[in-house]
Structure 1
Amino acid sequence: MKILNEYLCLEKMKDFKQLFLSRGECKIYKRNELFVRKGQTNHFMGFVHSGAFCCFDHRQDGKEQIIGFSFDNDFVTHYPSFLHQTQSLINIKSIKDSEVYVLPYREIRDFFYKDEENLIFSKHLAEALFAEAYECLISIYCDTAEERYIKLIRTYPDLLSLITLKELADLIMVAPETLSRIRKKISLLQGS
């Protein structure tokens, strides 16, 4: 399966992961336990050794709106809050029991500023995160729900083994019933 968060392919990412594994504090998050709470400053970043996390906010009707996910061998944080040490705009919770290696802001900042190579890596990381967010924004404005679903499943065919259909529907911003109709339509088209 293609990596969900493509920034993980950056050169030097191996060193960054190793920093978490060697110096991070191993924490266990139970299902539905918050990693980041909206309105609070995010002082930590985590490397997901095993498990899964969901980034979300609440809409005006009170329902959760899923924004993204972090799975095994990925990082979990609200990056803008972490980077600028400001209040988080979203919540992040574990969607299954998860083992995470956590490092505080200061230690990661020190890693980034250790030398020019690490500073360049931090710049590339921020650029990659921005590019992913921007591509997502364009898709929300320009693609239909069906197109968003098809792109997601073609790019990440194993995604449905990691999240529920309800979570997938929320991610592409449709009701679960609409996703069912989209899946049925695609299935009928593939069968003919």
Structure 2
Amino acid sequence: MDKFNTNNSSLDYSALEDLFVRQGTLKEFARNDYFLRQNDHTRYIGYVVSGMFRLSRVDANANEWIIGYSFEHDFVCDYPALRQGSEASVNIQAAVDSAIYLLPWENLNVFWETDMDTQRLGRTIAETMFSEIAQRLYGFYDTPEQRYIRLMQRCPRIQERLTLKEIASFLGVTPETVSRIRKHLLFK
């Protein structure tokens, strides 16, 4: 699958992946099962072995908005809630049958303190996450068509795995808007 999350490809994540396999617990999720529900507490981070997880948030008007995805070989959690020990701000749900290694937050913190290399890796991952969130925020000042084009450039085959409704929700528009954008781009 295309890289939805823009991890720094020059980083070597193998030690972190090994940690999840060695110390984590493999858990399978059927389609639509929740890894985490908004407003719950969690102490786990997941490493996606197979499948795909959808991150969404329900607003005050009970509208659900898709805010991200984690695919195979991605990590998945509500990082701010995990780090602060607060209620989750998002739902994390299996979009298809999926499997992840669950690792307790405490184990990850011990790993970060192993040596300078693991500390550097942790810092770089945090910086990458911050950059991704900032780019997503900045993107909402672009037109829906620009956001759609950028998503398709980053993940050309994403339409094979996501519905029109999910793509629209991620872009913050209606499915009809995405249809109009597709039609407009087809005739361009």
Same fold by TM-score greater than 0.5: yes
Counterpart in the other structure of 2:158:
159
Deviation at 1:85, TM superposition (A): 2.0
Is the 8 Å Cα contact of residues 2 and 158 (structure 2) preserved in structure 1? no
Is 1:173 paired with 2:176?
no
| 115-124 or 128-137: bigger deviation | 115-124
What is the DSSP-based 3-state SS (H/G/I as helix, E as strand, rest coil) of the residue aligned with 1:93? Answer: strand
Is the 8 Å Cα contact of residues 55 and 92 (structure 2) preserved in structure 1? yes
Q: Which amino acid aligns with 2:74?
A: D
How does 1:102-181 map onto structure 2 within 5 Å? 102-140=102-140, 142-181=141-180
Once superposed, which parts of structure 1, at least 4 consecutive aligned residues long, lie more than 3 Å away? Answer: none
Is the 8 Å Cα contact of residues 8 and 128 (structure 2) preserved in structure 1? no
Q: TM-score, normalised by structure 2?
A: 0.95
What is the DSSP-based 3-state SS (H/G/I as helix, E as strand, rest coil) of the residue aligned with 1:67? Answer: strand
Q: Distance in 2 between matches of 1:161 and 1:22?
A: 33
Deviation at 1:13, TM superposition (A): 1.2
Deviation at 1:181, TM superposition (A): 0.6
Counterpart in the other structure of 1:56:
56
Structure 2 unaligned runs (5+)?
A: none
What is the DSSP-based 3-state SS (H/G/I as helix, E as strand, rest coil) of the residue aligned with 2:51? Answer: strand
Deviation at 1:174, TM superposition (A): 0.7
Q: Distance in 2 between matches of 1:154 and 1:17?
A: 27
What is the DSSP-based 3-state SS (H/G/I as helix, E as strand, rest coil) of the residue aligned with 2:173? Answer: coil
**Identical pairs, percent:** 33
How does 1:8-47 map onto structure 2 within 5 Å? 9=9, 11-47=11-47
Q: Distance in 2 between matches of 1:124 and 1:10?
A: 11
Is the 8 Å Cα contact of residues 8 and 74 (structure 1) preserved in structure 2? no
Q: Which amino acid aligns with 2:130?
A: F
What is the DSSP-based 3-state SS (H/G/I as helix, E as strand, rest coil) of the residue aligned with 2:62? Answer: coil
How does 1:94-109 map onto structure 2 within 5 Å? 94-109=94-109
What is the DSSP-based 3-state SS (H/G/I as helix, E as strand, rest coil) of the residue aligned with 1:9? Answer: coil
Deviation at 1:159, TM superposition (A): 1.1
What is the DSSP-based 3-state SS (H/G/I as helix, E as strand, rest coil) of the residue aligned with 2:61? Answer: coil
Counterpart in the other structure of 2:184:
185
Deviation at 1:170, TM superposition (A): 0.6
Answer 1 or 2: which has greater helix percent.
Answer: 1
Q: Distance in 2 between matches of 1:89 and 1:2?
A: 26
| 155-164 or 7-16: bigger deviation | 7-16
Deviation at 1:74, TM superposition (A): 0.9
Aligned length: 188
